[in-house]
Structure 1
Amino acid sequence: MLLLLSVNKHKCLSFLTLLDLYLPLSTNHRSSLVNGTRGPDTVTFFIIEGLAGLGKEKMVLFVILLLGYMIILGGNSMIIFVALTDSKLNSPMYFFLYNLSFVDIIYTTITIPSMLSGLLVGMKTISVPGCFLQMFVFIQLAVTGRAILTVMAYDRYVAICNPLRYASIMTMPARVLLVAGAWSFGTLCTLPATSIAFRQFYCGPNVVKHGWCDPSSVRRLVCGDVTVDNIISLSFAMVALLTTGVFILTSYILIGVSILRMGVVQRLKAFGTCAAHLTVVSISYSSASCVYISYRVRIIVSVMYAALTPFLNPMIYSLKNKEAAAPLRRKEPVEVVWASGEDAPWAPP
């Protein structure tokens, strides 16, 4: 009888072992099984679920994203080409603008092509180092883009409030230093949280319920306490948003005070100078705020956020701007602005 019980017990254990070996990685059970092997190893890849739940709407979204991505690449590349090749577009505004366009091109290239392939073939896989590299570059470029918008707000402030000193303040070394500071600020706000997330233990499941390696989505897969991760990530996100937001708001408050002292014509010209930048800033910060409203709508809002501002930048800044559009139409010469205080369209008579 004891021998029979021992045999039956051995068979049951063998059956459970075989069953355990074939448990899928996407299960909610946090096991130590990875890639069909048994052991203490962490996961070696993540599955990007993306918008796999969509049905017939997949192809509609694919076409919309593809067209949007082509416009983003074409429009921002046009800004860079025109600003670098036309000697008349040598003002600081266009220097910062083509740097922003460069950020937008890489920013969207990090995510949209991956989403497009995911819509065609279903779920995508990405290695763990590749996932965190994508996470770092995406967040770093998002923060850098806002920092460049902050630099552009400072440029508006100097141009309107100190037109006579504009050329002496916004020299080429100063422009390069401001852009380098924007990139450094983006790295500083991104590296700590990404480094801590990379060093966490991921034992399964390995399905990222997002269109790319979004930090909060990947953090849900950590096998352990993520309290420190959440605090650090939220702290640096608040620093990035509040620091740039406060600087932009301060710049425009000072600009508003200066505009009140001008005549009606100068006010209109000054407002026209700031309108494009204000539009882009409003879209960027309102979209960023919506991302944190609900996790359920996070993917759709994040896709819109990742593509909307880079999509609208060429239209807002260039296609509606006579200085940038003139070289493309080749009908009229480009007016050089801000070369001196007298050339500034908002300078008092």
Structure 2
Amino acid sequence: MHKENQSTVSEFFLLGLMVGSEKQQLIFMIFLCMYLVTMVGNVLIILAIISDAHLHSPMYFFLANLSFTDICFTTTAVPKMLADMRSQSPSISFAGCLAQMYFFMLLVDLDNFLLAAMAYDRYIAICRPLHYAALLNPKRCALLVVTPWVISNLVSVLHLSLLSHLTFCDQRAIPHFFCDLEPILRLACSDTQINNLLILIIGGAVIFIPFTFILVSYALIGSTVLGVPSAKGKWKTFSTCGSHLSAVSLFYGSIIGVYFLPSSTYSAQRDNVAAVMYTIVTPMMNPFIYSLRNKDMKGALRRLLSRQSLF
């Protein structure tokens, strides 16, 4: 088979959500509406947290950062996907593909670390409430956000630097709606053993260490909640974690479905469905998850919208 050095590759073709013309308009409108809801919902969450002094606490600081990350994360893939659905040639340049992969890996890792930071916040609030202000002071909160940015950047650069040494075959069609590392590696003609090993070790660590931290945090929270004497007290204490648990379930369920099921079960359709879940559905649902069951957030949103209506 003819090989070509990857430096001469000009473009790839993203064919993940290419459907018949009779369904294309409907799917385009559905995803456009979902993207707009995601943007509006997360922007409102950020504005409500910034504008309301009652929400100037570590929990909402992490939530504002999660909303910002979700906005960037969705924007990395969805506008290009929508443009491709309206185009007769859903292509992306090699440089554009690398940029999309970089931001995608960076932001998905950030989401992962922020969910772990939010679990830590809930653990301190429930298990060590008297030390909450000291353990989650502004300096530590900033550190819990800045450190993931540094780690996520290093991981993304490492993946892309190894990718730059690969050669690619004539096949340029990617059965995905954005440039993701796994589908790109399947197009390579050269040996991808090191790349796959890096995904398994570094990618696995970046996903499973925070996930394990979340599980341990909730095990300790559960142990503390069981010590609350009344059933009403147990429910009230644990209900503060419900939104976070819902977001964690959505995020990790789809991530594990794409990256950590056995390769023998791989299918492009399964990957696309799971990718839609964590690139579109989860960022869209997070504002609802964190606002509908949160009286403080609902109150802040009402005050924000009422102020806007006066102008």
Give the TM-score taking structure 1 as reference length: 0.80
Q: Flag the structure with higher helix content.
A: 2
Q: Tell whether the 8 Å contact from 1:44 to 1:127 is kept in structure 2 after alignment.
A: yes
Equivalent-residue separation in structure 2 for 1:281 and 1:230 (angstroms) = 26
Q: In the TM superposition, what is the alpha-carbon distance from 1:218 to its structure 2 partner?
A: 0.9
Q: Which residue type is aligned with residue 281 of structure 1?
A: V
Q: In the TM superposition, what is the alpha-carbon distance from 1:187 to its structure 2 partner?
A: 2.3
Q: Tell whether the 8 Å contact from 1:41 to 1:203 is kept in structure 2 after alignment.
A: no
Match of 2:267 in 1: 295
Match of 1:176 in 2: 142
Q: In the TM superposition, what is the alpha-carbon distance from 1:68 to its structure 2 partner?
A: 0.5
Q: In the TM superposition, what is the alpha-carbon distance from 1:318 to its structure 2 partner?
A: 1.5
Q: What secondary structure, in the 3-state scheme, does the structure 1 residue paired with 2:153 have?
A: helix
Q: Which residue type is aligned with residue 131 of structure 2?
A: R
Q: In the TM superposition, what is the alpha-carbon distance from 1:53 to its structure 2 partner?
A: 4.1
Deviation digits for residues 13-62 of structure 1, max 9, x if unmatched?
Answer: xxxxxxxxxxxxxxxx5355x9xxxxx97212222223224442211211
1:100 aligns with 2:66: yes
Q: Which residue type is aligned with residue 72 of structure 1?
A: T
Match of residue 218, structure 1, among 169, 184, 187? 184
User: RMSD of aligned C-alpha atoms?
Assistant: 1.9
Structure 1 or 2, whichever has the larger Rg, is 1
Unaligned 5+ segments in structure 1 are 1-28, 35-39, 332-349
Change (3 A) 1:270 1:188: farther
Deviation digits for residues 185-221 of structure 1, max 9, x if unmatched?
Answer: 3223332222211332235222222101111111122
Match of residue 161, structure 1, among 127, 138, 142? 127
Match of 2:307 in 1: none
Q: Tell whether the 8 Å contact from 1:210 to 1:217 is kept in structure 2 after alignment.
A: yes
Give the TM-score taking structure 2 as reference length: 0.90
Moved more, 291-300 or 212-221: 291-300
Match of 2:237 in 1: 270
Match of residue 213, structure 2, among 247, 250, 255? 247
Q: Tell whether the 8 Å contact from 2:3 to 2:168 is kept in structure 1 after alignment.
A: no
Deviation digits for residues 62-99 of structure 1, max 9, x if unmatched?
Answer: 11100100010000000110111111211111100000
Q: Tell whether the 8 Å contact from 2:44 to 2:301 is kept in structure 1 after alignment.
A: no
Moved more, 265-274 or 133-142: 265-274
Q: What secondary structure, in the 3-state scheme, does the structure 1 residue paired with 2:268 have?
A: coil
How do 1:1-349 residues align onto structure 2 when only pairs under 5 Å count?
30-32=2-4, 42-264=8-230, 265-292=232-259, 293=261, 294-297=266-269, 298-330=271-303
Change (3 A) 1:41 1:230: closer
Q: Tell whether the 8 Å contact from 1:83 to 1:89 is kept in structure 2 after alignment.
A: yes
Moved more, 291-300 or 244-253: 291-300
Q: Tell whether the 8 Å contact from 1:45 to 1:127 is kept in structure 2 after alignment.
A: yes
Match of 1:23 in 2: none
Q: In the TM superposition, what is the alpha-carbon distance from 1:300 to its structure 2 partner?
A: 2.6
Q: Which runs of 4+ in 1 moved over 6 A?
A: none
Equivalent-residue separation in structure 1 for 2:129 and 2:279 (angstroms) = 35
Equivalent-residue separation in structure 2 for 1:48 and 1:282 (angstroms) = 28
Q: In the TM superposition, what is the alpha-carbon distance from 1:121 to its structure 2 partner?
A: 1.0
Equivalent-residue separation in structure 2 for 1:260 and 1:300 (angstroms) = 38
Equivalent-residue separation in structure 2 for 1:203 and 1:287 (angstroms) = 30
Equivalent-residue separation in structure 1 for 2:130 and 2:147 (angstroms) = 25
Unaligned 5+ segments in structure 2 are 305-311
Amino-acid identity (%): 36
Equivalent-residue separation in structure 1 for 2:44 and 2:223 (angstroms) = 35
